[in-house]
Each structure stands twice: as structure tokens, then as C-alpha cells.
A and B are shown apart, each in its own frame.
Chain A
Amino acid sequence: MAKYFGGCDLGSTTGKAVILKDGKVVSSATIRSRIDPVETGKEVLELAIRQVEGISSVRDLAYLVGTGYGRNEVPFANENVSEISCHALGANFLDSKVRTIIDVGGQDVKAISLDEKGAVLEFAMNDKCAAGTGRFYEAVVRTFDVTLDQFSALSLKAKKVVPVTSQCTVFAESELVSLLYKRHSPADIAAGVQLSVAKRVFTLVRRVGVKEKVVVTGGCAKNLGLIKALEKVLRVPISDLPLDPQLMGALGAAVVGWRKG
């Protein structure tokens, strides 16, 4: 009988689940985090399980690993592993040449340096404030009155970059309002936001060293404007991953279970 392995990443903003069978991703799900992390875990796992024929509940999984901020709260988990290790394992599972991961999540930013086996060599994280994270972008798009996708596309249309100096989410919001009132082009300001986040991430990545291949994981990895700004600041190409980068933690968690057989 086929064995299914689950990984569940309860992040600050979203809950993610991945199910593996024979070393292949057979289903995944992402939902917005609920107030109760246990509810988030139950719901996202249920969504992922529903897409797989042959299993109907969490109990049918051969092994379930929890990760993320709420890793202790994943219902029925056999084990929990830190999200840093899981992002490294997930990225290594997809591409063993990855040596540097920049995880831009909903609430923090992490830079991870890993070896050819996916083991973490060093990491650095910023979890003191929301600057340069998904929460920051949520505040920014509210000011621009656009969606995240529209904001990303807008920043790529910039003809020049209007510098945004405030790193703090709260101050950046008011700075953006004043820049918009000064009639600067929204695209140029958007490019300024992306560059300001990229510079902040740069200082963090420098702490672990920039070694190619570099990939970006987490929800903000879908922001192409940020990826371009990071390439410019880091002066290295950012590689694509063959799976939704937001799922990397959950995938790594599932890989932990799968490797245990």
C-alpha cells in the first residue's frame, strides 16, 4: 500500500500543507491563518488531503511533520522541525545546487546558507519588526489601493526609482502617502519600495554569505518586482524553483517524514 507523507507549515499569515507520495508532491494547499492555529492546521491539511485519492484523513498519513511559528500546534503531527531546517530541506529536495535561501515570509525575513545535503550551515533572521516582510507589503498595497500582484507589476514599469527611506512599516506608509501627494509616479515609488526592501534583505543575506544558487522562498517570492530588486542589489541571479516557493517550508517538513520512511 502506498505511503503518504504530510508537511504542515503554520506561518504567521498563511497555513500551508504538502503531501508527498513516492518522493513526489501529490497535493498542496494554502489558506489564510485563522485565529486558532489548530483550526488553521486542520483546515489546510483537510484541503490537501481532499485532493488525494486513497486517503481521507490526517490519520491516513504515514508521517506528519509540523513546522513554522505554530509548529507545536499542528494537529496529529508526529514531529515538529524548525522552519529554517524545513526551508533548507525543501529547496534542496527540489534543487540540490541551492546554497543560499532568502525566505521572505509574512512576519520575518531569514537568510539561510546550506550545504549540498540541505543541512543548514548558518542562518540569520530579522524577527524584530515587520519591515521588509509580507505584512509590510500588505500595508504598502493598502496605500496604493491595489492588489499585491498589481503592485508587483506596477513596480516593474518604473522609469526611475524614487527612494523610500523609511524601513519601518508605519513610517513607510506615511512616507508613501507624502510621495504620492508630491505627484511622483506610483510606478517609480513602487520601485523605490522594492529597492528599499531588497537593501534591507541584503544586509541580512550578507551575514550568511551570498553563494549561488540563490533562491527566494516564502509568500513574497511571488513578488517579481522584489526578485528583480534583489538581483540588482545582490548582483547574483535568483533562480526559480519548480514549485510554489510559498510551500517550501511545508515541503521540507514532508521531506523529513518521507526520509524517515
Chain B
Amino acid sequence: MSVFDITSASVSLPERFSTYRQRIKTFTNISGMGLRLGTRFMMEAPRKYPWLKTLLTADTLFDMSTRARRGPYRQASAWALSEVIASITDMLEGVFGNPEKTVMHEDLVPPEILTAMGLNPWMAELLGIMGPLIRSDFAEEYIDAAENEGTPPDVCSLPKATMGLVLKGQMPHPKAILTSNMPCDGGMSSYTLMEKRLNVPCFRLDVPYNFYDDRSAEYFAKELFRAVDWLEEHTPGRMDWDRLREVCTLRNRATEFQMEVWDLLREKPAPMAGEPLYLGHMIFQVAMPGREKSVRYFETLLAHAKKIRAAGGALPDERYRIALWNPPTLIYPELFAWAEQRYNAVMLMDMISYNRHPYIDTKSPETMMRDLARIIMAGPMARHTRGPQENFFSDLFELCERFSMDMIWMAGHIGCKNTMALSGMFREKCRERGVPLLIINYDLSDTRVVSPAEVRKQAEAFMETVMKAGAPVDSEAKAS
């Protein structure tokens, strides 16, 4: 067994070579960013931004994502990771290369607007997300920094990690901040701290709570127009409505391809699973939507899915389908590759990826802003965790039906009070429907609360006891 508790699949030399090619591409991309930014950056950056060293080791993610996989699914996983990391590198290059045009934002803000204004969107939480994926204890020093400055320990560890980066002076300096009244209280307060520490102007969008009617969409669209005016006042960005039309068209095209992938996911065995789906969505539809690269990503993902389907599916012996609710387990992304290998279980859809994806009407600035508003309002955090509880459960059970899920894994991040408060109701609803539910007790970004090994133990106990998936392989070996 490896450190990930995943055994290497026996693969051919060309398959192995193809993964290495993607790894090399990734390393070249990251180091290429340094070269393009110049000698001065190369000299100063490792001291100023020590987390860049972790990013340099991002190719370790390939071990997690490809080790257990074979054939076209392995190829697709390696390709997807390399695309995801390349895009993050692109984003960082913009942030480091042109801080005057960089706007820090959170995920209830449409980055399409920033792109159309010629600004660099910089999703503040991205480092706190990617860091633990690469190195599980990445966020801990930043969490401690935030707590040492007085942040309560029960605040979500993701905004704490983001605050820690700012407090330690390791966050790239933006020109302005664009945030919102998000439902995460820790997240909301983190922007107050960041605004003060970074000493930059900050605009807070008011996302309405009741978002089912046109009035709410119009209200939020007005908020977006207000944000544009504010950005024009505080940054060098200028709104180019034709450019926004292009960006929205690209987003629509990417969504079309993504929906086609989703259609294929209904087949058994599924032609795609895991990171290519959820990491791809996080980067190309949440952090950096509306770009040529996003369209290409989903178009190629679809092509890969078709190839995998022709080869008999991602896991030809697929036995179980998992719906993941809440964000993926950042400290232990191997969980899904492990579940594939150990139980032939595929994770097909998660809370962040499953939103309603309304298409954008590009007829006029008003229609574009209204539909961008709708995308945010129907997005995961705005929709699922503000209440009422119907928003949280209706999407979940809808996706369970749509993709014929066998079970739900709720990544029960203790820092998310909004979703943890629904645990009891969650159990009752699953019990009523006869859907097996595993609530994983853990912390999204802090391995000291629950270790990755303990997370795996919880999944093992559930699979063995409730799903009757058989004893873990190592125990079987011991008993025989």
C-alpha cells in the first residue's frame, strides 16, 4: 500500500508515459510562470510567497488521481489535472504580473464581469482550497495565524486559512476587493479583516435571500451594475459590454458541453468520475468561467468521456455511485480514488458542481447581468446554505435520482454551521427515502481535527456495515 492507501494499477508503458507527459507539462507550466515574470520575481517570490513551493509540488496530485486508474480514464484524469493546474498558474501570473488590475473576490461574485472589464479575477479562497489538496497540512499554519489574532476556533477553516495568508503577508496584493453577504459568517467577517489588513477598497454585493422571482433577479442585477460603477471608480477596469457578451457566450458554450457530460454520467458504468468533474468545475465554471480555455476544457472532457465509454466505462465493474454533499474533502482528496479501487464506487456529483446552470441571454447588458445574477443566486452556497432547507435537499435528491446514486456521502465539515445544523434533518430525510447516508465527521482544511486515516476509517465502516461491501482488503488478507 502507498501513502495514499491506494495500490498502483498495473498499466502499460505508454499509459505510464502519458501520465508523465502531463506531469512534466505541469511542472513546466509552473516554472514557466516564474521565468515569464522575471528574475526579480524569481528571487523575491519564494520568500514573500512561501506557498509557491507547495504549488511547485502540485504534480504529486497526479499520484492521487492516476495511481489506481487505467486506460482512457487514467489519461483523462492526468489531462484534467494538468489543465486545472495550468489555469491556476495563468491566474497567478495575472495576479503577480499585474496587481494594479487584480480584483480579489469570493465565489458569490460573477468573475465574468471582472474579465469583461479587463481585470484579473483572483478568487481569494483558491489558495486555501488548492493548498490542502496538494499537501494535506498546508492550511494549518494559516489557520493558527488567524486564531492567534483572535478568530474563534469554530469559524470555518477555509476563511481562516485565507485570513492567515493575509495576516502573514503572503497574499498577493489586489487593487480592490469584491465580495458579498455570503451565508458563511466566518467568510463574511474574513473580508472585513482582509479589507483592513490589505488596505484596499471593498465592495459588498447584496445577494437576495428569496431568489425565485424576477424581482430578486432584477434587484441583484442592479447590484451588479452598481459593482461595475464602483469598480470603474476604484480600478483601471472599464466595462466593455461587447467583451461581456463574448465572455457570456463562452460560458454558455462551456455549460453546453458540461451538460452533455452530465447526460453521459447517467449511463452505467459512468464514463467519467472524480477530479476531472469536480476540480474541473471548480476552476473552469467557478473561478475562471467564460474563457476559451473553459470551453476547451469541457469540450475535451466530453471527448474523453466518449472515449472512456467506448472502452467500457471509468470503472467497467462499477458497483456503487456516490453523491457527495458539501465541498470535497480537501485534506483527503484521495478518498474518491481509494473508494474506486477498494469498492468499485464512483463519486459522480457533488454540491459545488451541481447547480442549475441557467444559460445567459446575451441580448443586452440588462439580460446578461440578470442571468449572471441568476447563476450566482442558484449557485451552491447562495442557494443551499441560506435556507429554507428545501433548497438544500431538493437539489440533492434530484441529483440522486438523475444519476441513480446508491448512497450519499456528506462531507460533514465541522466548521460549516449552516450544513451541520441540517444533519438531523438530513438523516431523517434519507431514512424516509431509504437512501444510505454517511456523514463524515472532519474538518475541511485541518488534519489535526480528524486525520485523513480517520476519514477513511469512517468510510470503511460505512461501506462494510451499511453497504455490505465486504471487509477491507487488508483485513481479509490477514484473516485468511
Partners in one complex: yes
Residues of A at the B interface (CB closer than 8 Å) are 66, 71-72, 74, 77-82, 84-85, 119-123, 125, 206-209
B127 sits at the interface (CB 8 A): no
- B476: A residues at CB distance < 8 A: 79
Q: Kindly state the separation between the CA atoms of A35 and B461 in the bound complex, as whole angstroms.
A: 25
Contact across chains for B479 and A85 when beta carbons are under 8 A apart: no
B465 sits at the interface (CB 8 A): yes
Closest Cβ of chain B to A217, distance in Å, is 15
- A209: B residues at CB distance < 8 A: 427-428, 431
Known: A84-B461, A207-B427. A119 touches B468 (CB 8 A): yes
Across chains A and B, which 9 residue pairs bring their CB atoms closest together, nearest first?
A84-B465, A72-B478, A80-B479, A120-B465, A82-B465, A77-B479, A82-B464, A85-B465, A72-B475
Interface 1/0s, chain B 424-435, versus A by CB < 8 A? 100110010000
> Interface majority SS on B: helix, strand, loop or mixed?
helix
17 CB-based A-B contacts, threshold 8 Å: A72-B479, A78-B479, A79-B471, A79-B479, A80-B475, A80-B478, A80-B479, A82-B464, A82-B471, A85-B465, A120-B466, A122-B427, A123-B466, A207-B424, A207-B427, A209-B427, A209-B431
Q: Kindly state the separation between the CA atoms of A201 and B157 in the bound complex, as whole angstroms.
A: 29
Candidates B424, B427, B436, B471; contact of A81 at CB < 8 Å:
B471
Q: Give residues 405-442 of B contacting A (CB, 8 Å).
A: 424, 427-428, 431, 436-437
Q: Kindly state the separation between the CA atoms of A78 and B479 in the bound complex, as whole angstroms.
A: 6
Closest Cβ of chain B to A9, distance in Å, is 14
- B480: A residues at CB distance < 8 A: 78
A-B contact count (CB 8 A): 46
Q: Give residues 447-468 of B contacting A (CB, 8 Å).
A: 461, 464-466, 468
Task: Name 6 extra pairs, CB < 8 A, besides A119-B468, A122-B427.
Answer: A72-B475, A74-B479, A82-B461, A82-B465, A85-B465, A122-B431
Q: Kindly state the separation between the CA atoms of A125 and B464 in the bound complex, as whole angstroms.
A: 15
Instruction: Select the residue from A71, A79, A122, A123 with max chain B CB neighbours within 10 A.
Output: A122
Closest Cβ of chain A to B271, distance in Å, is 32
Contact across chains for A122 and B464 when beta carbons are under 8 A apart: no
Q: Kindly state the separation between the CA atoms of A77 and B360 in the bound complex, as whole angstroms.
A: 62
Contact across chains for A122 and B437 when beta carbons are under 8 A apart: yes
Q: Kindly state the separation between the CA atoms of A141 and B480 in the bound complex, as whole angstroms.
A: 41
Contact across chains for B427 and A85 when beta carbons are under 8 A apart: no
Contact across chains for B475 and A71 when beta carbons are under 8 A apart: yes
Contact across chains for A121 and B479 when beta carbons are under 8 A apart: no
- Chain B interface residue count, CB cutoff 8 Å, equals 17
Residue of A nearest to B462 (CB): A123
Q: Kindly state the separation between the CA atoms of A66 and B479 in the bound complex, as whole angstroms.
A: 8
Closest Cβ of chain A to B149, distance in Å, is 28
- A206: B residues at CB distance < 8 A: 424
Q: Kindly state the separation between the CA atoms of A207 and B461 in the bound complex, as whole angstroms.
A: 16
Q: Kindly state the separation between the CA atoms of A81 and B470 in the bound complex, as whole angstroms.
A: 9
Instruction: Select the residue from B427, B431, B465, B471 with max chain A CB neighbours within 10 A.
Output: B465
- A123: B residues at CB distance < 8 A: 461, 465-466
Residue of B nearest to A209 (CB): B431
Q: Kindly state the separation between the CA atoms of A78 and B431 in the bound complex, as whole angstroms.
A: 34
- A207: B residues at CB distance < 8 A: 424, 427
- A121: B residues at CB distance < 8 A: 431, 466
- B468: A residues at CB distance < 8 A: 119
- A120: B residues at CB distance < 8 A: 465-466
Residue of A nearest to B466 (CB): A120
Closest Cβ of chain A to B221, distance in Å, is 43
Closest Cβ of chain A to B434, distance in Å, is 9
Known: A122-B437, A209-B431. A80 touches B471 (CB 8 A): yes
- A77: B residues at CB distance < 8 A: 479
Q: Kindly state the separation between the CA atoms of A52 and B428 in the bound complex, as whole angstroms.
A: 46
- B428: A residues at CB distance < 8 A: 209
Q: Kindly state the separation between the CA atoms of A121 and B435 in the bound complex, as whole angstroms.
A: 10
Closest Cβ of chain B to A86, distance in Å, is 10
Candidates A78, A81, A122; contact of B466 at CB < 8 Å:
A122
Closest Cβ of chain A to B450, distance in Å, is 10
- A119: B residues at CB distance < 8 A: 468
Closest Cβ of chain B to A105, distance in Å, is 15
Closest Cβ of chain A to B405, distance in Å, is 17
Q: Kindly state the separation between the CA atoms of A122 and B467 in the bound complex, as whole angstroms.
A: 10
Closest Cβ of chain B to A80, distance in Å, is 5
Q: Kindly state the separation between the CA atoms of A184 and B464 in the bound complex, as whole angstroms.
A: 47
Closest Cβ of chain B to A115, distance in Å, is 10
Q: Kindly state the separation between the CA atoms of A84 and B466 in the bound complex, as whole angstroms.
A: 9
- B465: A residues at CB distance < 8 A: 82, 84-85, 120, 123
- B475: A residues at CB distance < 8 A: 71-72, 80
Closest Cβ of chain A to B232, distance in Å, is 52
Residue of A nearest to B438 (CB): A122
Closest Cβ of chain A to B332, distance in Å, is 18
- B464: A residues at CB distance < 8 A: 82, 85
- B479: A residues at CB distance < 8 A: 66, 72, 74, 77-80
Closest Cβ of chain A to B398, distance in Å, is 23
- B471: A residues at CB distance < 8 A: 79-82
Closest Cβ of chain B to A64, distance in Å, is 10
Q: Kindly state the separation between the CA atoms of A121 and B407 in the bound complex, as whole angstroms.
A: 12
Q: Kindly state the separation between the CA atoms of A209 and B436 in the bound complex, as whole angstroms.
A: 14
Closest Cβ of chain B to A225, distance in Å, is 29
Q: Kindly state the separation between the CA atoms of A81 and B472 in the bound complex, as whole angstroms.
A: 10
